[in-house]
Chain A
Amino acid sequence: MTEANTDIRQIVVPGEILTEDSNFLPGRGAIRKGNKLISIYIGLKEVRGKYINVVPLRGKYRPEIGDKVIGKIVDITSVKWRVDINACDTGALKPKDSMDVYDKRSQRGRAKVSSRELEFEAMKKFGLGDMLIAKIVSVDRVSEPVITTVGESLGKITEGTIISVDVPKIPRIIGKKGSMIKLLKDLTTCRLFIAKNGLVWIRGVSPELENLCIEAIRKIEREAHTTGLTDRIQYYIQEKKQERGLK
């Protein structure tokens, strides 16, 4: 293996030859063509042991089981809601996946109400255009992803601002072991929820702080492929706070 881990990760384009050394294996974002490895994204080339990865800089969200996402209700049928989760397909939310507490009325032995009626009742819970924090229950190639709102920190969003960011840059907004998100929370005193599908929920104590937080996130998004970002963001927020006279 002749190629060492390069200091600054190179930017590569689709079809660019990553290496012609046959000892390397294609990792994420790379494919083999003959004895060459080529990139399939605009991204950063990264050598990890035997593997060469390309970390994409742009991309669409692909749902995975267990992901927490922010979605918007775009359609209501008699049996389910259809939720726009920023993916190829809309997610399906069924009433039984939105009932927080198991209703005593339908317990065995004293069923006064059928489960169908309960579900019918539950369908009134969310309206068109409601924003939800939901979790993905199942995904496959054939059918649409199924989501649920039952669980900790899930449910309807009633306040705050939601912005959308590039999906591949989400890890950078969270930072290593949550360092960046901690920084944002500490300095702007905003509450944040970063969903895997590229939507970020922000609730600030004041609109000014909320705006500052959004600006900082936009800066992270733009400069996601550079080094020393955490320190720069810290400096940026402190500077802006002083400039605008925020506490």
Chain B
Amino acid sequence: MTLLIPETYPKKLIDKNGKRLDGRALDELRPFKCKIGVLANAHGSAYVEHGKNKIYAGVYGPREVHPRHLARPDKGILRVYYRMSSFSVHERKSPAPNRREREISKIIEDALAPTLFLELYPNSAIEIFVQVIAADGGTRCASTTAASLALADAGLPLKSLVAGVAAGKVDGKIILDCGDIEDKAGQADIPAAIRMTDEEYTLLQFDGEMTPEELETAISYVKKGAREIFAKQTAAIKEKFERIRQETDAENKKIGKTDINPDDDMLGDEDSMDMPLELEKGLERVKEDKTKSSDKSSKPEKEVNTLKEESK
């Protein structure tokens, strides 16, 4: 496709000091930031900033499959919708889903399915919607990272989180985490996603030319990068809940409650799984009492007052 505004790439992508266009070392990641629970209506959601990539992912389900004939009686299905916003790239992208988006949806699906227990959800579907707000090379990897976080946020049982990162070859040198220009002007590109508990690859694509030795270096870079991303994913999740804990500890001190037995009053106590029966039974009784009392109190107060005054 011819671009209306042609993109120009610099001749040298790596300078004399071995630094890249944005000043990174060869095996250095772009700045990475993530957050969970960002969309109110989704069952689980996540937001990822990887370099200049800005990506939202939302998880819905497990829920009914539409059209119904796609449902499988033995296990659930996972469906991913990867979409790029029309303003996310250099030149406007048509909002209609294209071949590339369908491909990336498919590979994200394949990258995440091995972490799910799909056999728990017969006849239902888990749907992930990935929306790229800004693209800066390596969106498929960043989208996989985001989608994995969103699945975890939805509370679905997962074998592991997945971290995605790409390696590439630029000016004859292997680099980690290609940026937009390195991706387009480079000689090779290896997007990968890794299931972090056993470090198995769930996504590995290859585009370009490399010698076997270079490939090995690239793979080692990818592993290193994925571990860094995984550490940041984990930290982001924990930070969210730890922050609330710190806030509440301060509140506890404020109200003068310091002698807390942590075992006493905690989520997941089996005692508190059921609503006590006497309370449930009381519900009916309370209902009647309250209606009677509220009728009495609500209706007349003003009238009674005025009547009293009149009588005086």
Partner-B contacts on A (CB < 8 A):
5, 7-9, 11, 13-17, 29, 31, 33, 38, 40-42, 44, 46, 53, 55-60, 68, 88-90, 141-142, 152-153, 168-169, 171-172, 174-178, 181-182, 185, 189, 191, 193-194, 203, 205, 222-232, 235
With A15-B196, A88-B124 in contact, is A171–B267 under 8 Å at CB? Answer: yes
B255–A235 touching, CB < 8 Å: yes
* A14 to B158 CA separation, bound complex (whole angstroms): 6
Are B290 and A205 in contact, CB atoms less than 8 angstroms apart?
yes
Complexed CA–CA distance, A46 and B273 (Å): 16
Q: Which 10 A-B pairs have the closest CB atoms?
A: A59-B155, A58-B155, A15-B160, A55-B268, A14-B158, A178-B276, A226-B248, A15-B197, A40-B157, A171-B272
A205 touches B283 (CB 8 A): no
Do B287 and A191 touch across chains, with their CB atoms under 8 A apart?
A: yes
11 sample A-B contacts, Cβ–Cβ < 8 Å, listed by A number: A13-B233, A13-B237, A29-B157, A44-B266, A88-B62, A175-B272, A177-B276, A191-B287, A205-B290, A205-B294, A227-B252
Residues of A within 8 A of B273 (CB): 171, 174
> Which of the residues B195, B234, B284 comes within 8 Å of A153, measured between beta carbons?
B284
A235 proximity list for chain B (CB < 8 A): 255
Whole-angstrom distance from the CB of B44 to the nearest CB of chain A?
A: 7
The residues of B that contact A178 with a CB separation of less than 8 Å are 272, 275-276, 279
Task: Provide the bound-state CA to CA distance between A171 and B270, in Å.
Answer: 8
Asked if residues B268 and A171 are in contact (CB atoms below 8 Å), the reply is yes
Contact among A60, A142, A194, A227 with B265 in the assembled complex (CB-CB below 8 Å) = A227
Q: Which residue of A lies closest to B249 (CB)?
A: A226
Give chain A residues whose Cβ lies under 8 Å from the Cβ of B198. 33
Write the chain A residue with the least CB distance to B237: A13
Q: Closest Cβ of chain A: how far from B237's Cβ, in Å?
A: 5
Given A153-B283, A191-B287, A231-B257: A42 and B268 within 8 A (CB)? no
B: interface residue count bin: 35 or more
Q: Pick the residue among A33, A194, A224 that contacts B275 (CB under 8 A).
A: A194
The complex places the Cα of A189 from the Cα of B200 at a distance, in Å, of 55
A222 to B237, CA, bound (A): 14
Report how far A88 CA is from B275 CA in the complex, Å.
Answer: 23
Nearest-CB residue, chain A, relative to B195 = A15
Chain A residue at minimum C-beta to C-beta distance from B252: A228
Q: Is the CB of A176 within 8 A of B160?
A: no
Give the residue name and chain of the B residue nearest to A29 (CB).
Answer: B157
Residue of B242, B255, B263, B276 touching A11 (CB-CB under 8 A)? B242
B260 at the interface (CB under 8 A from A): yes
Residue pair B241, A16 in contact (C-beta under 8 Å): no
Q: What is the CB-to-nearest-CB distance from B26 to chain A, in angstroms, rounded to a whole number? A: 29
B159 A176 Cβ-Cβ under 8 A: no
B→A interface (CB under 8 Å):
43-44, 61-64, 73, 115, 117, 121-124, 152-161, 195-198, 233-234, 237-238, 241-242, 244-245, 248-249, 251-252, 255, 257, 260, 262-269, 271-276, 279-281, 283-284, 286-287, 290, 294
Contact between chains at A230 and B265 (CB < 8 Å)? yes
CB <8 Å contact, A172 and B267: yes
**Residue contact B252 to A232, C-beta cutoff 8 Å:** yes
A174 touching B272 in the complex, CB below 8 Å, given contacts A11-B238, A182-B279: yes
A181: chain B residues at CB < 8 Å are 275, 279
B197 engages A33 (CB within 8 Å): yes
Pair A152/B265 contact, Cβ less than 8 Å: no
Q: How far is the CA of A86 from the CA of B167 in the complex (A)?
A: 43
State how many angstroms separate the Cβ of A206 from the closest Cβ of chain B: 9
Additional 8 contacts, C-beta under 8 A, given A176-B265, A227-B262: A13-B237, A14-B161, A16-B234, A41-B157, A46-B268, A58-B154, A177-B271, A232-B252
Using Cβ atoms and an 8 Å threshold, which residues of chain B touch A41? 152, 155, 157-158
Q: Which residues on the B side are within 8 Å of A227 (C-beta)?
A: 248, 252, 260, 262, 264-266
Query: What is the CA–CA distance of A44 and B263 in the complex, to the nearest angstrom?
Result: 12
Nearest Cβ on chain B to A178's Cβ, whole angstroms: 4
Inter-subunit contact B290/A89 (CB<8 Å):
no
CA distance A169 to B242 in the complex (A): 17
Q: Is the CB of B158 within 8 A of A15?
A: yes
A141 to B123, CA, bound (A): 9
Contact A89 B123 (CB under 8 A): yes
Distance in angstroms between the alpha carbons of A59 and B304 in the assembled complex: 52
Q: Which residues of A contact B154 (CB under 8 A)?
A: 58-60
**Closest chain B CB from A181 CB (angstroms):** 6
Instruction: Report how far A205 CA is from B286 CA in the complex, Å.
Output: 12
Complex CA distance for A49 and B162, rounded to whole angstroms:
31
